[in-house]
Amino acid sequence: MQLTFLGTCAGTPSLQRNVTAIALTLSNRGDCWLFDCGEGTQHQFMRSALKPGKLEKIFITHLHGDHIFGLPGLLTSRSMGGVATPLTLYGPKGLKAFVETTLSLSASFVTFPLEIVEIEAGEVYRDGGITVTAWPLSHVVECYGYRIEEQDKPGVLDAEKLQADGIPRGAWFQRLKQGETVVLEDGRRVNGGDYLGPSIPGKSLAIFGDTAPTPVACKLAANVDVMVHETTLEAAMAEKANGRGHSTTVQAATAAKQAGAKRLIATHFSSRYSFADCERLLAECQAVFPATELARDFAVFEV
């Protein structure tokens, strides 16, 4: 999986950074999922290597403008560009009314199948390979963080052991790789599980919406490979940040440490901070959680 940050600013854009949008590319199938869609996201999309036709799902954390004002433009441009593949939106109650009202009042339309799913806390999507769950956060409006988990993959088939046991190559190898039992031409029953190495753990990541410090963070991001968390303000401004439902650098880093995350990507910085200032914010995070990285617009991270 691969994360591409299309916007890393909080509240309002700056000359250097756009408001929130994060794309997740699924390496096993090439599909793209978008998490939040702030104003100007379609422009950021065009400036990146991402392809609109690959966009399959959009997960909205909450209905503040810097997280959803880009939706109407993205949806209509997708139609005008001739993209016909289905798209599903997930987000809090009110998302359907927002999309339908803005499209209706602007006499806009979509030409592709569009489904809007208004979510509650719990599992919101599962396809056999990936599960997405939503967790309620501590913000001034209903807001969620999303945990994305890949299913563990079967271990590697031990070709040498198969050869030593006199099991010939054949179409049944694919079934053995899945741990199934097959019957060979000579009547022998072979259990694929006996020839598989240890299973390969699937990747996991947690993408937080806006939030003040919350105990939910430990469960949402428990032992994830990558945790994406807002760091709206510096440590010295904790009272202001928390009063508006946001977190500071130190609070985000502490949440990552307590959750046992392997990596933290800090994002959603107030527009008051320049690139140079963000390096100082990164240092505050790393003092608590060394495995912290700084998101910038168009930065790409492998999961």
Q: Where are the alpha helices (DSSP H) in the chain?
A: 41-47, 65-68, 71-80, 95-105, 159-164, 172-177, 216-220, 238-243, 249-259, 275-288
**229 annotated ligand binder:** no
**Side-chain half-sphere CA neighbours of 172 within 13 A:** 16
CA angle 13, 15, 17 (to 5 degrees): 55
Task: Tell me phi and psi for residue 46, to 5 degrees.
Answer: -70, -30
**43 annotated ligand binder:** no
Q: How many CB atoms lie within 10 A of CB 137?
A: 24
**62 annotated ligand binder:** yes
Spatial distance between the Cα atoms of 255 and 273, rounded to a whole number of angstroms: 22
**67 annotated ligand binder:** yes
- Of 66, 165, 194, 277, the active-site residue reads 66
Spatial distance between the Cα atoms of 112 and 241, rounded to a whole number of angstroms: 40
Spatial distance between the Cα atoms of 273 and 14, rounded to a whole number of angstroms: 9
H helices then E strands: how many in the chain?
10, 18
**127 annotated ligand binder:** no
**What is the pairing mode between strands 204-207 and 189-191?**
unpaired
How do the residues of the chain divide into helix, strand and coil, expressed in percent and rounded to 5? 30, 30, 40
User: Does residue 165 have an active-site annotation?
Assistant: no
H/E element, 158: none
**186 annotated ligand binder:** no
**246 annotated ligand binder:** no
User: Binding-site residues for Zn(2+), please?
Assistant: 62, 64, 66-67, 139, 210, 268
Residues annotated within the binding site are: 62, 64, 66-67, 139, 210, 268
Residues involved in catalysis: 66
